[in-house]
Amino acid sequence: MKNLLLTLFASIIAQGAFAESKMACFAVEGMTCAACTITTKVAVKKLDGIEDIKVSLDEKKAEVQFNDTKTNSDEIKKKIDSVGYKATLLQCNKG
């Protein structure tokens, strides 16, 4: 039993050890109102591994922080596209 618990504990620790928080930025075409930003946020948050999302109607952009062991920028783009907008991956501004 002790070995089983140690193995389980080591497995849990190892899974978290390789997780890295990443940021992906997107231009989002087609957003015209505040409801569009909410629609985008709600859709993306349904993906496993999303840590934070900021959507700007004025800039027509979305910044998404995510766990790269659970999702990726391609899946996030597909999710934004699936709710009626056109997402294009951008280089995130540092600063």
- Domain-by-domain residue ranges, the chain? 20-90
pLDDT band, residue 48 (cuts 50/70/90): very high
Share of the chain above pLDDT 90, in %: 76
Identify the CA nearest to 29 among candidates 85, 74, 82, 75: 85
Q: Tokens 């930003």 belong to which residue?
A: 37
pLDDT tens per residue, range 57-77: 999 999 999 999 999 999 999
Using the predicted structure, report yes or no on whether residue 36 has a pLDDT greater than 60. Answer: yes
pTM (two decimals): 0.79
Q: Give the model's pLDDT for residue 32.
A: 97
Q: What is the mean pLDDT of residues 2-26?
A: 67
From 3.90.1150.10, 3.30.70.100, 3.50.50.60, 3.40.630.10, which CATH number describes the 20-90 domain? 3.30.70.100
